[in-house]
Amino acid sequence: MNYQRRQVLKGAGAAGAVGVAIAAGLLKPTAVYAATWNQAGFEARSVADALKAINATGAAESNQITIKAPDIAENGAVVPVEVTSSIPGTESIAIIGEKNNLPLVAQFDLMNGAEGFVSTRIKLGSTSNVRAVVKAGGKMYTAAKEVKVTIGGCGG
């Protein structure tokens, strides 16, 4: 039994190595998505730079944005976050983990009837504010909620 298991594991390891080689050498990201992806934002190391990259510097605090996230997250690798914006004309919602090495987590552009709502799961490196930034009618609004993290989800 054990011998067989070892063979299987070896096989899986070899296949994995080939996969990595293919991915590194042959598959190149297409230009279509690379052009729209906000590289400056996602590579920003500070909240200020991330906000700047999504044109949200000086966004107004708003109580029409609700962030639903646990007060205490036992596992920072999986923190459920739900953002609801009741600001009329919400066009996009961005989520920022303020103490993460790379603070900008995601930006969701909403259109054609999509409501001001997204729900997802994010990583938090440590206890930190989760900040939502909403674009509505060409203006930027923001709100934050603190999540205490027991085990960080970004280190190794």
Partner 1 sequence: MSSIKIRASMVGDVAEVKCLMNHPMETGLRKDAKTGQLVPAHFIKSVVATVGGKTVLDAQWGGGISRNPYLAFRVKGAQKGDKVTVSWEDNKGAKESAEATIG
User: Minimum CB separation from partner 1 for residue 61, in Å?
Assistant: 23
User: Minimum CB separation from partner 1 for residue 88, in Å?
Assistant: 13
In this chain, which stretch among 2-10, 63-71, 77-85, 138-146 interacts with partner 1, using CB under 8 A? 77-85
**For residues 142 and 152, which CB has a smaller minimum distance to partner 1 in the complex?**
152
Residues 6+ away with beta carbon under 8 Å from 111: 91
User: Minimum CB separation from partner 1 for residue 24, in Å?
Assistant: 8
Pick from 2, 5, 27, 63: which binds partner 1 (CB under 8 A)?
27
* H/E run at residue 129: strand 128-136
87 binds partner 1 (CB under 8 A): no
Pick from 2, 4, 36, 63: which binds partner 1 (CB under 8 A)?
36
Pick from 86, 87, 117, 127: which binds partner 1 (CB under 8 A)?
117
Tell me the Ramachandran region of residue 11: left when phi exceeds 0, alpha when psi lies from -120 to 50, beta otherwise: alpha
* 71 beta partners: none
**For residues 113 and 138, which CB has a smaller minimum distance to partner 1 in the complex?**
113
* Distances in whole angstroms, Cα of residue 61 to Cα of each of 49, 83, 87, 131: 18, 14, 12, 11
Instruction: Report the alpha-carbon angle 34-80-85, nearest 5.
Output: 75
As a whole number of angstroms, the distance between CA 1 and CA 3 comes to: 5
Pick from 2, 4, 63, 112: which binds partner 1 (CB under 8 A)?
112
User: How many Cα atoms sit within 13 Å of 92 on the Cβ side?
Assistant: 14
17 binds partner 1 (CB under 8 A): no
What is the chain's alpha carbon radius of gyration, rounded to the nearest angstrom? 19
Residues found near partner 1 in the complex (CB under 8 A)? 23-24, 27-30, 33, 36-38, 41-42, 77-80, 82, 95, 97, 100-115, 117-123, 153-156
